[in-house]
């Protein structure tokens, strides 16, 4: 199946679900084991089937298969949020006393997770001091267990050269994990460029309608855990699961099976089947939505760049962007729908601009059908000191705009009016 056909059909066979053409929701916590022999087989991971929804559920399974096929992986695991997926992706292969090397430009929630909660768990995350593969390599030690980056990071929208970084990671016997939330698999499939694990906040473009929190991990199946020698949790008996050795029992799927059998079992951040249903419904139109998001975002970025009251625009699809070449390589179909821009006039103009907009919704989400504007300086980052704000790139002129699917003429007209009002103070 080609990509657009997979969006509608992968993972769902109506014959296995009462001939339902739409993916059914299975609102059940537990599943009948039938006889003891089958129950024992389920618990030994020798018989395929569902036990308890914290571990798996038929609706969630369809979402997982679909995402694995779309990203080109051997398996996927769904979660209640993107944060839960990121946490599990790393805890699955990193323990106290070990290290992660991460990009310094990441979603704020991921930065907090890495620099605060992981620190408490004894995992040291070292942030690369630049964006070149050498900047990451410099931070790698014998204790490093993975490299973590975002593609089109939120909100810096930078692009790190995945192919070159994967080579660095593999030379050191560690996997590259890529958060592919903002491109979605429609714009880029990091596994094709050498990434080993892909993470998503499905809350954004995958579900696409701002109505369902969710997250996912997709395993490429390409990383050789045994050859690396750094992952005894995958290559030696798991005493918490009848002494199973994941690499021996599951081969290429060792990582994703362990993530379910151990991390999801213990952390419990499974999605509700209802949310998976909403995510699957939204996912069906991913290609159509992404095409429109990208077209509108590029036109709006060009319009903003030419506007006299806008001091700067950050969008990798603009020829003026320092990431333009990398965008042509990794996201040739478009650069998704987030634009950063600077409005002249400082915080007073910023407040007036936000309060004057009528179409974009003033909130903090991205990847919704509706346009969303965020003014981090006076809202999401207001608790930070001025120095901290500067360090995160949150200046008093910075606006983050997630371009929605409304008629582009309406969006531009609304922006024009609000910009004009913002300058009359
Ligand atoms: C790039 C990226 N990754 C992960 C997350 C976290 O996802 P969630 O809000 O679903 O937990 C976000 C949230 O904005 C994000 O933008």
CB contact set of 248 (below 8 Å; sequence gap of 6+): none
The whole-model pTM stands at: 0.97
32 lies in the same domain as 155? yes
- CB of 89 sitting under 6 A from ligand 1: no
Q: Does residue 373 contact residue 400 with C-beta atoms inside 8 Å?
A: yes
36 lies in the same domain as 119? yes
Number of domains present in the structure of the chain: 2
Which of 247, 282, 317 corresponds to the end of one domain? 282
What are the DSSP calls for 154-192, one per residue?
TTT-----HHHHHHHHHHTT--EEEE-TTTHHHH--GGG
Tallying the residues shown for the chain, one arrives at 425
Residue 32 to residues 62, 123, 389: CA-CA distances in angstroms?
20, 39, 53
Residue 266 to residues 178, 241, 263: CA-CA distances in angstroms?
24, 12, 5
- CB of 207 sitting under 6 A from ligand 1: no
Q: Does residue 145 contact residue 94 with C-beta atoms inside 8 Å?
A: yes
Query: What is the chain's percent helix, strand, coil content, to nearest 5?
Result: 45, 15, 45
For ligand 1, the distance from its centroid to the CA atom of residue 80, given in whole angstroms, is 11
For ligand 1, the distance from its centroid to the CA atom of residue 197, given in whole angstroms, is 16
Q: What is the pLDDT of residue 117?
A: 96
326 lies in the same domain as 259? no
346-356 vs 408-422: helix crossing angle, rounded to 10? 140
296 lies in the same domain as 183? no
26 lies in the same domain as 106? yes
- What span, in angstroms and rounded, lies between the C-alpha atoms of 185 and 204? 12
Q: What is the pLDDT of residue 285?
A: 98
Identify the helix (H) or strand (E) that includes residue 5: helix 3-9
Which of 282, 316, 345 corresponds to the end of one domain? 282
* Three-class DSSP category at 333: coil
- CB of 107 sitting under 6 A from ligand 1: yes
- What span, in angstroms and rounded, lies between the C-alpha atoms of 107 and 137? 22
Q: What is the pLDDT of residue 389?
A: 77
Reading the chain (425 residues) residue by residue, the pLDDT tens digits are 999 999 999 999 999 999 999 999 999 999 999 999 999 999 988 899 999 999 999 999 999 999 999 999 999 999 999 999 999 999 999 999 999 999 999 998 999 999 999 999 999 999 999 999 999 999 999 999 999 999 999 999 999 999 999 999 999 999 999 999 999 999 999 999 999 999 999 999 999 999 999 999 999 999 999 999 999 999 999 999 889 999 999 999 999 999 999 999 999 999 999 999 999 999 999 999 999 999 999 999 999 999 999 999 999 999 999 999 999 999 999 999 999 999 999 999 999 999 999 999 999 999 999 999 999 999 888 877 887 777 777 899 999 999 999 999 999 999 999 999 999 97
Q: What is the pLDDT of residue 387?
A: 79
CB contact set of 340 (below 8 Å; sequence gap of 6+): 155, 156, 157, 313, 314, 315, 398, 399, 400, 401
- CB of 367 sitting under 6 A from ligand 1: no
Look up residue 395 and give its two tokens: 């200046």
50 lies in the same domain as 142? yes
Q: Which of 80, 85, 110, 155 to mutate for ligand 1's pocket (most ligand atoms within 8 Å of CB)?
A: 110
For ligand 1, the distance from its centroid to the CA atom of residue 39, given in whole angstroms, is 37
238 lies in the same domain as 139? yes
Look up residue 187 and give its two tokens: 């714009």
Q: Does residue 73 contact residue 259 with C-beta atoms inside 8 Å?
A: no
Q: Whose CA is nearest to atom 15 of ligand 1?
A: 107
Q: Does residue 347 contact residue 395 with C-beta atoms inside 8 Å?
A: no
Q: What is the pLDDT of residue 320?
A: 97
129-158 burial string, b = 16+ CB within 10 Å, else e? eebebebbbebbeeebbbbbbbbbbbbbbb
Q: Which atom of ligand 1 is nearest to the CA of 214?
A: 10
- What span, in angstroms and rounded, lies between the C-alpha atoms of 214 and 204? 9
- CB of 181 sitting under 6 A from ligand 1: yes
Using the Cα atoms of residue 319, residue 325, residue 328 and residue 331 in order, give the sign of their dihedral: negative
Q: Which of 201, 267, 368 to mutate for ligand 1's pocket (most ligand atoms within 8 Å of CB)?
A: 201
Which CATH number characterizes residue 230's domain?
3.40.640.10
Nearest alpha-carbon partner for 199 in 182, 217, 185, 184: 217
Q: Which of 179, 203, 279 to mutate for ligand 1's pocket (most ligand atoms within 8 Å of CB)?
A: 203
- CB of 360 sitting under 6 A from ligand 1: no
Which CATH number characterizes residue 390's domain?
3.90.1150.10
- CB of 368 sitting under 6 A from ligand 1: no
263 lies in the same domain as 340? no
242 lies in the same domain as 293? no
* Three-class DSSP category at 252: helix
Look up residue 97 and give its two tokens: 């006393």
Phi and psi at residue 40, to the nearest 5°? -65, -40
250 lies in the same domain as 346? no
Q: What is the pLDDT of residue 371?
A: 98
Number of helices (H), then strands (E), in the chain: 20, 12
278 lies in the same domain as 324? no
286-305 vs 408-422: helix crossing angle, rounded to 10? 40
- What span, in angstroms and rounded, lies between the C-alpha atoms of 86 and 252? 20
- CB of 109 sitting under 6 A from ligand 1: yes
334 lies in the same domain as 190? no
Domain that holds residue 299: 287-422
Which of 253, 282, 311 corresponds to the end of one domain? 282
């Amino acid at each position: 199946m080609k990509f657009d056909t997979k969006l509608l059909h992968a993972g769902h066979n109506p014959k296995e679900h009462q001939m339902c053409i739409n993916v059914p929701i299975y609102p059940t916590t537990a599943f009948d084991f039938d006889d003891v022999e089958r129950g024992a087989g389920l618990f030994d991971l020798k018989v395929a089937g569902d036990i308890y929804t914290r571990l798996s559920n038929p609706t969630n399974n369809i979402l997982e298969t679909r995402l694995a096929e779309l990203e080109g992986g051997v398996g996927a695991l769904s979660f209640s949020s993107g944060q839960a997926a990121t946490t599990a992706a790393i805890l699955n292969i990193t323990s106290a006393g070990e290290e992660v090397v991460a990009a310094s430009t990441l979603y704020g929630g991921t930065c907090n997770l890495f620099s605060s909660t992981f620190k408490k768990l004894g995992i040291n995350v070292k942030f690369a001091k630049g964006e070149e593969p050498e900047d990451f390599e410099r931070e790698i030690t014998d204790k490093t267990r993975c490299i973590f980056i975002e593609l089109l990071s939120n909100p810096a929208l930078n692009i790190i050269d995945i192919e070159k970084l994967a080579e660095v990671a593999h030379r050191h016997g560690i996997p590259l994990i890529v958060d592919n939330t903002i491109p979605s698999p429609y714009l880029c499939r990091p596994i094709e460029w050498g990434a080993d694990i892909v993470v998503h906040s499905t809350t954004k473009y995958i579900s696409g309608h701002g109505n369902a929190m969710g997250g996912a991990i997709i395993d490429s199946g390409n990383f050789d855990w045994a050859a690396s020698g750094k992952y005894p949790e995958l290559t030696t008996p798991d005493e918490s699961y009848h002494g199973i050795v994941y690499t021996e029992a599951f081969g290429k799927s060792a990582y994703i099976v362990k993530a379910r059998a151990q991390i999801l079992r213990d952390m419990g951040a499974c999605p509700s089947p209802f949310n998976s249903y909403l995510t699957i419904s939204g996912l069906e139109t991913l290609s159509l939505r992404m095409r429109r998001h990208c077209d509108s975002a590029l036109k709006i970025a060009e319009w903003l760049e030419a506007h006299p009251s806008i001091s700067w625009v950050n969008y990798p699809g603009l020829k003026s962007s320092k990431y333009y070449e990398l965008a042509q390589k990794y996201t040739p179909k478009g650069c998704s729908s987030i634009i950063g821009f600077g409005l002249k006039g400082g915080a007073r103009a910023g407040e007036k601009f936000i309060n004057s907009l009528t179409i974009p919704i003033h909130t903090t989400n991205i990847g919704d059908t509706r346009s969303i504007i965020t003014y981090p300086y006076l809202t999401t980052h207001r608790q930070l000191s001025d120095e901290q704000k500067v360090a995160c790139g949150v200046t008093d002129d910075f606006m983050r705009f997630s371009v929605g699917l409304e008629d582009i003429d309406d969006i531009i007209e609304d922006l024009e009016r609000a910009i004009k009002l913002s300058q009359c103070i």
